[in-house]
Amino acid sequence: TAPANNGGGNAAAGDKKITLGFAQVGAESGWRTANTKSIQDSAKEVGYELKFSDAQQKQENQIKAIRSYIQQKVDVIAFSPVVESGWDTVLKEAKDAGIPVILTDRAVDSADKSLYKTFIGSDFVEEGRKAGQWLADKYKDAQEDVNIVELQGTTGSAPANDRKAGFAEKIAANPKLKVIASQTGDFTRAKGKEVMQAFLKAHKDIDVLYAHNDDMALGAIQAIEAAGLKPGEDIVIISVDAVKDGMQAAADGKINFIVECNPLLGPQLMEAVQAVVDGKEIEARIVTDETTFTSEQAKEALPSRQY
C-alpha cells in the first residue's frame, strides 16, 4: 500500500519511493562505520532512496547537508548531531519546509521538542553509569587512592557529556576513586594514542583508564605498550562500544570491561521513517537495548559479533 502524505513530508500518494536524507557525523570510529553500514543496508532493504553525507565531524558540514536536503525536498531528514547545541535555526528551517526530522544516535539540546519527531539511540548517561558502577565495585575495598585518567569523546557531543556525567555519578560514592586527568581524544584512535602518551608523561601513577569509546582505548593501548606497561594489568581499562576490535582487545585481556553501545540503528530508523511518512504517532524517544562485557564474556561473544 502507498504511504499517505501526512502534510509533514513530501511523499506523494501512489508508489513514489520515499527519499531519506541522512547527515552522518563522520567516519571517526569502528562504531560509526558499523552505524553507516546499518543505515545504508536497511534503506536498501526497504527500498528507500538514501541521500547520504559525511560531515567529517564538523557541525557546519552537517548544517550544509541538512539545508541541501531541504532544498531537494526529501521526504524525511535524519541525522546524528555531532554536538548537542546550535541546531535550532536549521531544524526550524526543516519544520517550516514541512520536512520531518528524526534524530539518531545523538541528542540535541533544543528546548522545542516539536523540531524533531523522535530520537532513536542509546542512553549515554546509563552507559557512563555502568562503567562507573563496575569500577566502584572493583575498588570497593581500596585503601589507597585509585588514579583514573579519562579520554573523553568529541567535545560538546552528547556521548561525551553523558558518559562523563554517568561515570562521575557512580564513582562519587568512593572518595578513593579520583579522576586525575580528563581530556578529549575526539573518539579517534590517533587522538586516543596521542592524549594517552601525554597522560603517561605527566602522571607516573595511573591505575585506570576510562575511554569513552573503543577506538580511543585501542589507541591508548598502543601508547601504554610503547611505555613498557601492560594494558589490562598495570592499567585497568574500561571503554564503551563493544565493536569487534574492542572485543578482541577485551578477549586478549587488554580491556577489562566494555559497555555496549549498539550502532545497528538502521532497521529502527527505517520503521520510524515509514511511520512518519504514514502520519502515524511515534514515541518521542526510542532507547536501544544494550549490555556489558567482561574479558570472559567478550571471549564468548566474539565469534558471533557482527561488527
Footprint of ligand AHR on residues 107-136 (CB under 6 A)? none
217 to 15, 185, 192, 294: CA distances (angstroms): 47, 10, 6, 15
**Least distance in angstroms from the C-beta of 105 to ligand AHR:** 5
Give whichever of 141 and 289 is closer to ligand AHR, judged by the CB atom: 289
**Least distance in angstroms from the C-beta of 216 to ligand AHR:** 8
24 to 37, 66, 81, 279, 300: CA distances (angstroms): 11, 10, 8, 25, 32
**Least distance in angstroms from the C-beta of 126 to ligand AHR:** 13
Give whichever of 29 and 152 is closer to ligand AHR, judged by the CB atom: 29
Site string for ligand AHR, 236-265 (x = CB under 6 A): ----xx-------------------x----
Give whichever of 31 and 87 is closer to ligand AHR, judged by the CB atom: 31
Contact 96, 89 (CB under 8 A): no
Contacts of 117 (CB under 8 A, 6+ apart): 8, 100, 101, 102, 272, 276, 282, 284
Give whichever of 261 and 276 is closer to ligand AHR, judged by the CB atom: 261
**Least distance in angstroms from the C-beta of 190 to ligand AHR:** 13
Site string for ligand AHR, 72-111 (x = CB under 6 A): ---------------------------------xx-----
- On the 0-12 / 13-18 / 19+ scale of CB atoms within 10 A, 71 is exposed
Strands, E, within 117-256: which ranges?
118-121, 146-152, 177-184, 208-211, 236-241
Q: Which stretch binds ligand AHR (CB under 6 A): 26-34, 64-72, 132-140, 299-307?
A: 26-34
**Least distance in angstroms from the C-beta of 157 to ligand AHR:** 7
Contact pick of 3, 159, 219, 232 for ligand AHR (by CB under 6 A): 159
**Least distance in angstroms from the C-beta of 72 to ligand AHR:** 26
Strands 292-294 and 257-260: antiparallel
Q: Which stretch binds ligand AHR (CB under 6 A): 29-37, 38-46, 111-119, 141-149?
A: 29-37
Give whichever of 36 and 110 is closer to ligand AHR, judged by the CB atom: 36
Footprint of ligand AHR on residues 175-234 (CB under 6 A)? 187, 213, 215
CB < 8 Å & 24+ apart, contacts of 294-298: 294/250, 294/256, 294/257, 295/232, 295/250, 295/251, 295/253, 295/255, 295/256, 295/257, 298/242, 298/247, 298/248, 298/250, 298/251, 298/255, 298/258
**DSSP string for residues in 64-100:** HHHHHHHHTT-SEEEE--SSSSS-HHHHHHHHHTT--
Contact pick of 10, 19, 24, 29 for ligand AHR (by CB under 6 A): 29
Going by C-alpha positions, the residue among 162, 58, 188 that lies closest to residue 109 is 162
**Least distance in angstroms from the C-beta of 186 to ligand AHR:** 9
**Least distance in angstroms from the C-beta of 127 to ligand AHR:** 8
Residues that bind ligand AHR (CB under 6 A): 28-29, 31-32, 105-106, 159, 187, 213, 215, 240-241, 261
